[in-house]
Structure 1
């Protein structure tokens, strides 16, 4: 289907700017010649005025294209300072419009055509080593507006794709903050251990009125981590044996010892399950199989957990 939208070559040189410079020169020339010529002054005035009108017409035509080329350089990062008023505004917008994703525009076919034309032209901005990502994408649209995702869609899977440094983690900050302010449970699995993400999540909990909602688990930093009892919840004794034997080195010559420890722990924990008692690491450490794991268990939990 052919679109009614006229096709424009958006990234051509701004010829209107050069034309306005020529008309400006003509206006100045006509005005200057009026002082050195014996011809009637009215002719020079009309000529100068006509050149001035054409200059302003060309400038008016050149200004939108100049702004469009200027937007290819990208925009500065917007720093948001969360206050109680801002938090209340986010909560209201979440209920009325959905999750706020930031500023942008919906990608349409004409945006794709503009991007294609830009990639084929010589106007593509030089990529800076300091800034990651493609900031010229913001130049595909003249006006950006707040973007919202309906709350019903947040119950589904959402994928965020971007090169390193393009702002994925900062978007996660925004999504986590709004989820915390909605009093929703948030579980973050961060293999990179981003310190800013953790600190921003803690700040979001403080702004929600309950800083103790924030709990962090990291085996490498037990002093700043909560404790998790790996033996608290289970359905079969073999599950506990698998968790404990998983602490042993696997592969190579260690595989038989790991399998033997798992088998012995399964037999030792089964009587406790029949009695309806919960095992703890102190009990496991006194068992024969526990001696194989001695020195490895207390990394995750205290002996009495």
Structure 2
């Protein structure tokens, strides 16, 4: 019961005290005092006036903080924390019973004039905004710089301070804005993982920008998977990598810009060969009748992958498509390799296998050998190899599986893999196909190829834009394969560390993963990622819109709950459903709040004849009751860029996320600005809180504007990054410092 929602009456006593101090100092005779006593009395009165003025200012600044939302710009490399020890989340305060009480008090109808801005205050704020714009336009003059600094003095208490309308209820942060300080999470606690939730366009990606910039400057391995392909996020990562001196460790992977992207093979690295088939078929539909076809597709893909690896080939989506849809050449290659090995190991039994093949082929041509009806359309040498395998009765499971697939009638086999073929064609069509199915032996392709273990050893930084708005199927498949590959590599790190060491200690990298729109890429592989990879040095920060997004993606409410329960820390921006908000509010306790009940009464006593006509009574009764520390409606009414956070054992904080100060950033090359502008024109995905948050300079893109990057943009890269040129008229290759070192 602070009683601060009232006029600042302390200002009256402060003015009186200062007046007395002035009279005592200037004309002590008016108070019948000598000069010495007047000076002492004036000093005492002035001190009392300062105390009362400070109290009046506290009441005034508190009320103004309830009316106007503060917005701060902060350079990502100039944070008020030690990045080796703490992880900065924004400016805020720990939410306690006091703030719940203040919030309830501010909702009373008789105090709204102290909570809502008056027309005069709005006019003063608008005048301050006009002065700020003038100062920014004339920033080369001394007067403009002085005026701009003066507008920032006093924070929200400045009557000319320009509050930004970010929607929501500004009172939520105003109840504690006077005690703001940096809200941090200990670096050692981040292995418990952080979940960020918020509806569209409330600041999730801008928060991601702030958090991943810290990881870059802290020297950690940074992996950002962005299904949308946000232009400002890509530029921010590139700029901070340059600023931190780590540009040679930066890889840019973007499905929307394959001409300038690094290449990545999501199925080429594995701990177990069965992972290849799992990653290649995870995105296939698995509900209803589709489940059986998915299992068939997995089986044939697994057989093909094992055969490719045995032949010394690196599996890619392109080679899988080629061999799954046309299995005959792979069957012949693998069978020939198997019999050559058997001829060396068992010469007495298999030394003359080639003569037997010739005999069988002649018999088939002469129609003297029984040929299965399903193989009538196959060439004699292929049928002869199949019959030889049947005669030899080998126990090679891969060869037996290839032979079985080879023996199917073509129409029947095509029906079995009906869902796999079109899916793999989507992944291998066009320029994107060469991006995720790289040709390791093409000397003309200068784009680097990276894998996760290489990134970990280099201490790398990876930005992966999946271009989900153009093709959600390909985006989801590539994202799933990336996560599966990360889980597999993390499992290897858990067992052996980054590199073997003679002292027996495992060397683990600090891998900070940021997954924007995680519901787009979450699959079965995400469960072991969040509940097991913390021991491998992984620190996962996942961003999504609601708990229903993850539930819809994994298709199981229990599994979605399993994923959510593995995040120790929760940061929730504005959401649109009470069910999602309850994920936070159900975890905070109830507190005692005080409710004042005014009671008034009058008693008529004129009949008693004692000279008293009536008696009146006015009381304020204070009642205590239980109330939630935070209600779901509070989460639903958060302004943009603000959040509640439960950190380190449900310590509740109210956070205001600062925007990145990116004005005239010298670390963003003009060529990447052109790429970003093209991305913004095509997708419009960046989350902008206010008009002034757009910090990208418009760059002309020439003939390639609005489409894929053409030779004009290629020349821009050539000019900005000397030594790394686009190859050919199709602008097909850029390497070097733009994406990372050559593989």
TM-score, with structure 2 as normaliser: 0.31
1:132 corresponding residue in structure 2: 167
Between 111-120 and 223-232, report the one with greater CA deviation.
223-232
2:75 pairs, out of 72, 81, 84, with 81
Q: Which has the higher strand share?
A: 2
Spell out, residue by residue over 1:94-118, the C-alpha distance to the aligned partner (whole angstroms, 9 max, x if none).
23x5223333222232222112211
Spell out, residue by residue over 1:136-187, the C-alpha distance to the aligned partner (whole angstroms, 9 max, x if none).
3134342322333222122222234556555443333222111111111122
1:147 corresponding residue in structure 2: 183
2:214 corresponding residue in structure 1: 178
2:102 corresponding residue in structure 1: 114
Taking a change above 3 Å as real, the CA distance of residues 173 and 287 of structure 1, as seen in their structure-2 partners, is: closer
5+ long unaligned stretches in structure 2: 21-29, 32-44, 118-162, 328-420, 441-743
Displacement of 1:62 in angstroms is 3.5
Taking a change above 3 Å as real, the CA distance of residues 245 and 207 of structure 1, as seen in their structure-2 partners, is: same
2:299 pairs, out of 218, 240, 263, with 263
1:219 corresponding residue in structure 2: 255
Displacement of 1:65 in angstroms is 1.5
Taking a change above 3 Å as real, the CA distance of residues 263 and 213 of structure 1, as seen in their structure-2 partners, is: same
2:5 corresponding residue in structure 1: 11
2:93 corresponding residue in structure 1: 105
Contact 2:321 2:425 in 1 (8 A): no
1:247 and 1:98 mapped to 2: Cα distance? 38
1:160 and 1:154 mapped to 2: Cα distance? 13
5+ long unaligned stretches in structure 1: 1-6, 28-41, 44-52
Contact 1:133 1:165 in 2 (8 A): no
Displacement of 1:130 in angstroms is 4.2
Spell out, residue by residue over 1:231-255, the C-alpha distance to the aligned partner (whole angstroms, 9 max, x if none).
3123455433344446778879987
TM-score, with structure 1 as normaliser: 0.67
1:64 and 1:280 mapped to 2: Cα distance? 66
Say yes or no: does 1:287 pair with 2:287. Answer: no
2:439 corresponding residue in structure 1: 304
Taking a change above 3 Å as real, the CA distance of residues 287 and 256 of structure 1, as seen in their structure-2 partners, is: same
Taking a change above 3 Å as real, the CA distance of residues 73 and 164 of structure 1, as seen in their structure-2 partners, is: farther
Aligned length: 270
SS at match of 2:83: helix
Taking a change above 3 Å as real, the CA distance of residues 77 and 253 of structure 1, as seen in their structure-2 partners, is: same
Spell out, residue by residue over 1:177-232, the C-alpha distance to the aligned partner (whole angstroms, 9 max, x if none).
11111111122233343222221111111111021333233334323433221331
2:83 corresponding residue in structure 1: 94
2:242 pairs, out of 192, 202, 206, with 206
Contact 1:282 1:304 in 2 (8 A): no
1:48 corresponding residue in structure 2: none
| RMSD over aligned Cα atoms | 4.3
2:195 corresponding residue in structure 1: 159
